[in-house]
Amino acid sequence: MREIVLDTETTGFDPEQGDRIVEIGAIELLHHVPTGRTYHQYINPERNMPDEAFGVHGIGPDLLSPPRPAQPGQVTLRDKPVFKKVAKDFIDFIGDAKLVIHNAAFDMRFLSAELSWVGLPRLDDARAIDTLMIARSKFPGSPASLDALCRRFGIDNSNRTLHGALLDSEILAEVYLELIGGKQPDFGLSAPGQRGRDTVSDDDWRPRPRPAPLPSRLSEKEKAAHAAFVEKMGETALWSRN
């Protein structure tokens, strides 16, 4: 089972009002285990960056209105590709996998809008697994932000001083695995791709009986010595009773 844990950063809250995606970060899970494959892309939104959005993620100071110079280490967007240039690579990476997103409605709305603007199909909302909804269902009445869930599960998010799509995806992957029952929620302890040919499909893996019993690890000499030992104990010995 392949899943993509995904996060975006944007210029605001509403693509229908002209807000755009400025960063996408995603990591691949296979059978709930990170594979090491990631997708990360900064995107030129072709518009100014509002102060409010810059205060959240710190991206694109050169696109603020009025423009401000970038500080050392800050990401600027004027030289980054527009969404149309990266759309195919993004779609190729996610494939047909389920998309694990915190507050999925927000990110799915932006991604579908961006895809439709470049003539590509919108994403099916049914593909999204919303960790915010899972957390609210599992812990009703408790804070369900990503930071709050990190505190609940003891996940280190000390590097998260600002929102960043790839870092948030990495943190979300850990949170997601805790929400669904830990790093091996289905008790499929074999590593992905290492299951035998005679197993059922990966999506329906279950423990199965061993096709042939293992041979005894006792030698004939050891068996004979044990039998002699039991015989010496007499008929009243527990091991002699039927």
Residues annotated in the binding site for substrate, as ranges?
7, 9, 52, 57, 168
The neighbouring-strand residues paired with 4 are 28, 99
Q: Which two tokens stand for residue 57?
A: 């993620």
Binding-site members for a divalent metal cation are 7, 9, 168
* Known binding positions: 7, 9, 52, 57, 168
- Give yes or no for a contact between 37 and 132, defined as CB atoms under 8 angstroms apart: no
163 catalytic? Reply is yes
Catalytic residue among 32, 40, 163, 226: 163
Give me the active site residues, please.
163
